[in-house]
Structure 1
Amino acid sequence: MVKKAIIPVAGFGTRLLPITKAQPKEMLPVVNKPIVQYVVEDLVEAGVKNILFVTGKGKQAIENHFDINYELECKLKASGKNSLLKILKEIDNLGNIYYVRQKEPKGLGDAILYGENFVGNEYFIVMVGDTIYSENIVFDLLKAYKKYGCSVIALERVPKEEVYKYGVIEGEKIEDGIYKIKSMVEKPSVEEAPSNLIITGAYLFSPKIFEKIKETSPGKGGEIQITDAMNLLLKEEDIVGVEIKCKRYDIGDVLGWLKANVEIASEKIPEFREFLKEFVKNL
């Protein structure tokens, strides 16, 4: 059983400024919930209930969201607003949540390393805090791990002209939707990209990844890139990739955030669907 997860949330969210000047991007609402709550809910639904947030300065809103607000709950109870109280109680009981602060922004690899003592010698999941999916892909990671017994990463096929924005894999297809990874490159040019299969920000790692992060020198952007650490891991252990079959919402910029709100509202809330279709059509 994989029981632990790390969610790195220490980034500044500069592409969403000025929204993110005082508000963590992970707490921006998508319909009626903050982005990061979707991530936590998927982990808990899949049985991964011990969750470590790697935070940074200005991220206290995340801690407050997953903490109990006694004053608000008492007010709702006294007002007879039981349906709203139920929603808050559900958030209160979302797994066992812990926090550690990344002292300086040195990349995703460095952020993951802050979870070494929390994880110990176990396989664990990493989910970035600004990406959500239309289906729960944590089950796909766990299924592949159970079958292959190694690290697993979630992949998505994108148009070739978009590969420069992501980590990209070179791999061998071993069954439908499953690839044995040969190498990875961080944000290559379109001409240098080995494929159009990109790493989506969902991982299931062997604990040996911590050793490889420590051996990794700063790479693209002067940061400790997790793709570089995974390339070192590949020299000793297998990594497989699972191509996702659902929509991914990368909420790193304003357009991505707007699209996620419209699409998720129309898919998840039936009474909004026809209104949104007509509203967008008439813009």
Structure 2
Amino acid sequence: MIKKAVIPAAGLGTRFLPATKAQPKEMLPIIDMPTIQYVVQEAVDSGIEDILIISGKGKRAIEDHFDRNHELEARLVEKEDRSLYDEMRRLSDLANIHFVRQKELNGLGDAISYARHHVGNEPFAVLLGDTIMDSVIPVTQQLIDTYEQYGGSVIAVEEVPADKVNRYGIIGGKSLSDRILELDTLVEKPAISEAPSNLAIAGRYVLSPEIFSAIEQTGMGKNNEIQLTDALRLLLKRECIYAHHIEGKRHDIGNKLDFLKTTVEFALKRPEFAEPFRKFLKEILQDKS
């Protein structure tokens, strides 16, 4: 059973400045919940008990968010707000959450390497801290099921428009079922003419511990960073890697427009907001037409 997960969350979030000057981008809320809490909840819902968050300078707010706040809890008790009190206690008890800082921002592959001693010789899940998955079965659980069936590292993938493949890591391989492929290649941000498919890596992985030696042997790649995709290409020479075409929708919170879209979609799913918010949107659209 896979019980450990790694969440890289060390990026500077420059695309959200000035909002991220003094707070992590992973703490930007979708309505009333920070992005990274959705990610942690997905891991927990997938049976993960132990989570290592790879953070960086200026990310202390993430640690505080998952820690207990006794003063706040006492105030909620005084106000007899039991539901919020229970929610705060549940938040601090979600999982065994640990933190380590990435000393230099040398890419996703480098960030994952910081988990080597924590993970040991176990397979583990990786969930990018700025990507939310909306699915009936947690996407991480989907990958774990595939790992247990096939016995090799698994990468979440989704279809993207052909003219956007140069923005993603792209995989190629042979189909084993409707949603599972056995990989034969991975390319980081290929030119459109060189892309092996339009299946893009979607921010979730289940990896064998052999990935650490592959990262160690991986040089600087795109953007002068150690790319996880490059390390996976090395790992592919040693063992089988599979891709799982996810059931669900990926929300990339790394840019402002997608952040806005995600907020609207999630608001429309909330019972207390859905009808008045939908009415508000219709009124705005009518005013602009």
**Same fold, TM-score > 0.5, yes or no:** yes
1:178-197 matches, within 5 Å, as: 178-197=180-199
Match of 2:202 in 1: 200
Matched to 2:9, the amino acid is V
Distance in 2 of aligned mates of 1:6 and 1:260:
23
Are positions 1:82 and 2:82 aligned together?
A: yes
SS of 1:179's partner is: strand
Match of 2:264 in 1: 262
SS of 1:144's partner is: helix
Distance in 1 of aligned mates of 2:160 and 2:111:
26
Matched to 2:76, the amino acid is L
Match of 1:100 in 2: 100
SS of 1:203's partner is: strand
Quote the offset at 1:282 in angstroms.
Answer: 2.6
SS of 2:176's partner is: strand
Are the structure 2 counterparts of residues 281 and 192 from structure 1 closer, same or farther at C-alpha, using a change threshold of 3 Å? farther
Match of 2:214 in 1: 212
Matched to 2:54, the amino acid is V
Query: Structure 1 vs Structure 2: percent identity of aligned residues?
Result: 51
Match of 2:232 in 1: 230
Distance in 1 of aligned mates of 2:247 and 2:98:
31
Quote the offset at 1:79 in angstroms.
Answer: 1.5
Distance in 1 of aligned mates of 2:175 and 2:66:
40
Are positions 1:280 and 2:281 aligned together?
A: yes
SS of 1:10's partner is: coil
Matched to 1:279, the amino acid is F
Matched to 2:110, the amino acid is D
SS of 2:273's partner is: helix
Aligned length: 282
Distance in 1 of aligned mates of 2:279 and 2:189:
38
SS of 2:194's partner is: coil
Quote the offset at 1:279 in angstroms.
Answer: 2.1
SS of 1:236's partner is: coil
Distance in 2 of aligned mates of 1:122 and 1:130:
24
Quote the offset at 1:190 in angstroms.
Answer: 1.7
Quote the offset at 1:271 in angstroms.
Answer: 3.0
Quote the offset at 1:31 in angstroms.
Answer: 1.8
SS of 2:7's partner is: strand
Quote the offset at 1:171 in angstroms.
Answer: 1.3
TM-score, normalization by structure 2: 0.96
Unmatched runs of 5 consecutive residues or more in structure 1 = none
Match of 2:287 in 1: none
SS of 2:182's partner is: strand
Are positions 1:20 and 2:17 aligned together?
A: no
* Deviation larger for 74-83 or 116-125: 74-83
SS of 1:37's partner is: helix
Unmatched runs of 5 consecutive residues or more in structure 2 = 285-289
TM-score, normalization by structure 1: 0.98
Distance in 2 of aligned mates of 1:37 and 1:64:
12
Distance in 2 of aligned mates of 1:19 and 1:190:
34
Quote the offset at 1:177 in angstroms.
Answer: 0.9
Runs of 4+ deviating beyond 6 Å: none
Match of 2:2 in 1: 2
Quote the offset at 1:113 in angstroms.
Answer: 0.2
* Deviation larger for 176-185 or 202-211: 176-185
